[in-house]
Structure 1
Amino acid sequence: MPESRSGRATYIITEMSAANRTIDLLLDYEDPYVQPLIKSAFQSRLPSGSYRLIDSPDEHKFGPLVQFRAYEALDFDKAVELPGILINAYVIRKALIRKHYLSTTVSNWVSKHPDSILKTHVEPSVEFELDYAEFLDDALVEAFELKESFEKNEGKKPQDREWWILKPGMSDRGQGIKLFSTEQELQEIFEAWEAERPDSDDEHEEDEHRHEEGERTARIRGGDARGDHEADDNESAPATDGGWGAIQVTHEKKEYIITSQLRHFIAQPYIHPPLTFDDRKFHIRTYVLAAGALRVYVYQPMLALFAAAPYAAPWVNADAESGGQPDLRAHLTNTCLQGSDQREGSVRAFWDLPATLDASNTPAAAELAGMPVDWKEHVFSQICTLTGEVFEAAARGMMIHFQALPQAFELFGVDYMVDARGDAWLLEINAFPDFRQTGDDLKGLVEGLFEETVDVAVKPFFELDGAKPEGTEQLRQVLDIDLGRR
C-alpha cells in the first residue's frame, strides 16, 4: 500500500466498489434556521444506505466525505490534499464578494469585452481609501468621475443633481450605506462617523465589553451574515491605527458601523427611478450555486425584499437629525436594517408579485412604455445572463482572487435591483447568505434550494444515481466552463 497520505486515500477509495461506498456527511452549519433544512435535503435526496451522518471530523477515517459547515470550520487542507472530499465553499472568492474587488472584476472584463451585458447592467464604481475625514480631498484625487459630477452638480437644485450611493467595500447587510450629491455632503458623512469614534481607549474597551455581554453590535463581514470572516480570504485583518477602526456602533443607536476593515469605499451612481410596488422599492435576492471549476446555476424561486418606507427621490424627505441625509428607510431594502414591526410583508416570493404593471409602479410612469408584458420572465432572463457573465469574469479575469476548485461548491446570495424600464442591475454578491431573511413563511424555498444542490452539486461529484450536473427546472444552469483544474 502506498506510504503517502494522499496515495493511501486514493487506493482505499478506488478499490471500494461503488455499491459499498458510504459517504460521511459532516453537516454543521451552525445556524438553527438552516441546519435542519440541510440535513433533511441530504436525507431525502441521497439513496438510503449511501451515507453516514457524523458529528465530528475525527469520526471520518477515510473514504468519501462531504463537509457542509461554516466557512471558518472547513478543513480546506484536507479537501485539497485528499480525493473524495467535497466542501461547501471555495477558499478564495473575493473577486465576487468584496465590493471593491467586484468593481474591478467587472471593469477589467468590460474593458476586454465591450459588448458584455455587464457594461449596461452594473453601475461603474469609483473606488477610494480613507482613514480620516480630513483627508477626503486627497483620497479623491484620482476619483475623476466623482470630481466631474461634483462640478456639474455645483449650483444646481437637489432634484437636478446626479446622486451617488456610498458603500463600504467590505460591509454587508446594508451597513454604512449613504447617499450624496456634493463633495460637502460626502465630507459631512465621514465627519459624522468620525465624531462617533470613542474619545479614549476606556470607551472603546467599554464598547467591546457590551458586545461580549450580548448587545447586538453589528460587525462588517466579508460575506453576508457569514462568510470569510478574515479580512481577505484567510489573510490577517489590517492593523487599526485609530482611524475608522476605532468606531463601533450598535443597531439600537445608529444605522451604521465601522471596524478596522472600513477604509475601502466605493461610490456608484444611484439608480433612480426604481420599479416599485405599493410605493416601496425592492431588490431581488437570487440564490446562486457554483460547483466545481466551473458550473454556475441560478435558483428560479427568488425573493423580493422591500424597503420599510414609501419610496421618495433621494432629494426628498431629508432627515434633519442625520445631517440632511434622505430617509434611508425608503432606499435600503435589506430587511436586516428593519425592526420586527417593519418586516411584516417585507419579504415576498418574486414570482408572486403582480403580473401587470401600471403608473403606480414607478415615480416615472413614462418609463414603463418599453416594459415587456411578461416583465418577470424578462427580469429573470437578464439575471441568468448577468450571473453567468460575472462568474466567468471572475473565473477568467481575476484568477488570483477567485479560485474555483473541482472539490468545492458554494451557495451565494446575489442581489439585483430593477429600474423603471425593467432593467436588472447587479448590486452585490454575498457568500454564506443570511437565509433567515427568508422567514418562516417561505422556508420551503430555502429547503428546495438545498435539495436541488444535492442533486446538482453533490451527486455528480460522487457519481451517484440521479445526478443532474446539467441543472434542473428550478436550478437553471447559466455557465459551464472548463478551467482546466483537476
Structure 2
Amino acid sequence: MATSDVKPSEKIYALINYEDPYVQPLILAALQKRLPESSYEFITSVSQLPSPSPRLLQWVQYESIDFDHLLENSSTSLANAYVIRKALIRKHYLSTTIANWITKYPDSVLKRHVKPSVEFEVDYAEFLDDALVEAWELKESWARNEGQEEVEKKEWWILKPGMSERGQGIRLFSSERELTEIFEEWDPESDDEEEEEDEDEEGHARSDAGGGGENGERKEVQEKEEGNGIITSQLRHFIAQPYIHPPCLLTPPNAPSSELRKFHIRTYVLATSALQVFVYRPMLALFAARPYVPPWNNVLQEDRDEAMRAHLTNTCLQESGDREGSVGLFWDLPNNIPQQPEGLELDVKSDWKDLVFEQIKATTGATFEAAARGMSIHFQPLPNSFEIFGLDFMVGIEEDGSLNTYLLEVNAFPDFRQTGVELSGMIQGLFEGVVEKGVLPFFGVGGERKDGEDGMVKVLDVDLGRR
C-alpha cells in the first residue's frame, strides 16, 4: 500500500528531534529500517498532527517532550522518556532506593553488587560537622584509619555530588581532614578575599569573584580546571561510598602493553511500558586517562584534578588526546586478565566476561524492580513511554581473587557520542533494538523478534497495573 493510501488514524506520525548530530541520523536510520515504509510520516511539530489525534511517536530531548499530549492520549501517543525517574538517576535517590530494598529483601543481589552509601547534605565546609552527625559508617572508618600505620591498609571513600554529571566533583578521601579540605576547595571566596582581589587589580571590579550575594546565596563555583564547573544544586546532596579497591585493571586499546588502567563498563538499558527492562548485550569499556595507582599514592598531591585522572574513567572529562583509545567494546577485551599489581592472586577463568554479564543482568533487573516497587513515588513507568538509560559498572577483585561487578550509577539520556564514530554501529544496533522492543509493540506494527535476537536481553518483566 502506498503512503498516500494509509489512513491518518493508522499512520504513525514521528517527531524526531534529538538535537544531537551524532544521534539524530542513527535514530532515523533505525526507524527507517524497522518500520514499514508506508506506516509512518515524519513531522516537525505536534501542531502538524491531523485531527482527531492519531498515533504519535515523540523521540526528542526530555525538555521538548509534550507530556500533556502524552498523558491525554495514553493509547495513541508514545514518548522516549518517563516523566518521573529520580529514584534511578539521582545518586542520593538511587542510594536510598537500594538501601530500602536491601532492608526489605536482605538476600537481594543488590547487597553484593552495590556499595553501601552514606548520604548527607551540606552547603559550606563550616557546616560539615553538623551534616555528618549521623554518618556513623564514616566516623568508624576514620577511627580505624587513625590506628592504621600501614597506609595501604587504610579504608578509602569516594565522594560524589548527588546531582552531578560527567564525573564532576568526584573526590577521594580517607579522613575527616581530607573531606573538609575538599569542601573548603569548593567554598566561595569571602568578602575580604574579594576586596583583596579588587585592590590587586587596581580597583577594577571582578565579575567572577564568586562570593555570596546579599542573602548569602551561593553563586556558581568553578573548579580550577576549565570545563569542570559545579553549580549550587550539585553541591548540596552528597553520597560517600567505599572506594572499590583493588579494581580489575586492563590495557586499553592502542595503549602500551605494560600500561594497566582502571575501566568501567557502560551498559545501555531499555525500560519500556510498565514495566519491561532489557539489557543491550554489546557494551563499552571506558578507560581512565592515566595508568592506575592506588589512591594513597597520589590523591593528596596539590593538583587534585590531575591526581584523579588515574581514577576517573569518565571519558567526558578527558582531553581529545587522552580519549583516543580509551573506549573499546567490552566483548573485545582479552579473555585472560593480566597479572595485577600488588601481588594479587586471581581466581579467574577465560569466560570472565560471561560471568560479569550475568552479574550485570541480575543487578540491572533488581535495581529497576527496587525503584518500581519500592520507590514508586520517584519512579513512575508509564505504559506509553520507553527510555534508554546508561548504567555504569565496575569490576573489582575480591579477597579470594574472584571478580565482582558493582553498579556505580544510572544515567538518563546518556552521552552516546563517547562511543565515537568508529563504534557508531553499536549505537545503531541499540536504536534498532529499541524500535523493535519499545516502539513496534506499542503501535502493533511488524513482528517482534525473539528475546536476545537483536541484542536486547530481557532482565525484568513485571506488571505494575498501570494502563
TM-score (norm. length: structure 1): 0.85
Question: 1:406 corresponds to which residue?
Answer: 383
Contact 2:299-2:308 within 8 A present in 1 as well: no
**Structure 1 segment 118-157 matched on structure 2, within 5 A:** 118-157=110-149
What secondary structure does 1:25 align onto? strand
**Change in 2 beyond 3 A, CA 1:251/1:184:** closer
Q: Aligned match of 2:369 in 383, 386, 392?
A: 392
Asked whether 1:163 is paired with 2:156, we answer yes
| Distance change (3 Å), C-alpha of 1:129 and 1:205 | farther
Q: In 2, distance between residues paired with 1:294 and 1:269?
A: 32
Contact 1:105/1:398 (8 A) holds in 2? yes
Which amino acid counterpart does residue 393 of structure 2 have in structure 1?
Y
- Paired with 1:204 and 1:426, the residues of 2 have a C-alpha distance of 47
The within-5 A match list for 1:40-439 is 40-61=29-50, 62-82=53-73, 83-157=75-149, 158-194=151-187, 206-207=207-208, 242=216, 245-249=218-222, 252-253=225-226, 255=228, 257-278=230-251, 279-318=260-299, 320-322=301-303, 327-359=307-339, 362-369=340-347, 371-420=348-397, 421-439=402-420
Structure 1: give runs of 5+ residues left out of the alignment: 1-15, 210-238
State the Cα distance separating 1:472 from its structure 2 match.
3.3
Contact 1:97 1:431 in 2 (8 A): yes
CA distance in 1, matches of 2:135, 2:444: 51
Do residues 32 (structure 1) and 24 (structure 2) align?
A: no
Describe the superposition over 1:227-247 as per-residue Cα deviations: whole angstroms up to 9, x where unpaired. xxxxxxxxxxxx99646x423
Residue 18 to residue 112, structure 1, CA distance change in 2 (3 Å): farther
CA apart distance, 1:172: 1.1
The SS at the match of 2:221 is coil
Distance in 2, matches of 1:79 and 1:162, equals 49
Identity %: 58
**1:466 shift after superposition:** 1.9
Structure 1 Cα separation of the partners of residues 190 and 35 of structure 2: 52
- Structure 2 residues not aligned, in runs of 5+: 199-203, 252-259
Q: Is the 8 A contact 2:13 2:40 kept in 1?
A: yes
Deviation at 1:317, TM superposition (A): 2.4
Contact 2:9 2:55 in 1 (8 A): no
- Cα deviations across residues 39-60 of structure 1 (Å, max 9, x unaligned)? 1110111011000001111111
2:462 is equivalent to residue 485 of structure 1: no
Deviation larger for 190-199 or 382-391? 190-199
8 Å CA contact 1:95–1:102 kept in 2: the answer is yes
| Partner Cα distance (1:240, 1:443) in 2 | 50
Structure 2 CA distance for partners of 1:169 and 1:357, relative to 1, 3 Å? same
Relative distance call for 1:90 and 1:20 in structure 2 (3 A) is closer
Q: Taking structure 1 as reference, are residues 328 and 436 closer, same or farther at Cα in structure 2, changes over 3 Å only? A: same
How far is 1:422 from its partner? Answer: 1.7
The Cα RMSD (Å) is: 2.6
Shift, 1:128, TM fit: 0.3
Amino acid at match of 1:102: L
Equivalent of 2:430 in 424, 427, 449: 449
Question: CA 1:108–1:205 in 2, change beyond 3 Å: closer, same or farther?
Answer: farther
Q: Report if the CA contact (8 A) 1:315-1:326 is conserved.
A: no
Map of 1:21 onto structure 2: 10
Indicate the residue corresponding to 1:229 in structure 2: none
Structure 1 residue identity aligned to 2:43: I
User: Do the aligned partners of residues 347 and 197 (structure 1) sit closer, same or farther apart at CA in structure 2, a change above 3 Å counting?
Assistant: farther
| Cα distance in structure 2, aligned partners of 1:427 and 1:271 | 10
How much has 1:253 moved relative to structure 2? 3.2
Counterpart Cα distance in 2 of 1:251 and 1:375: 40
**Counterpart code for 2:416:** F
Alignment-mate amino acid for residue 444 of structure 2: E
Residues of 2 paired with 1:173 and 1:101: CA distance? Answer: 18
Report the CA distance between 1:249 and its aligned residue.
1.7
Q: Give the count of matched residue pairs.
A: 437
- In structure 2, how many angstroms separate the alpha carbons of the residues matched to 1:322 and 1:196? 19
- TM-score with structure 2 length normalisation? 0.88
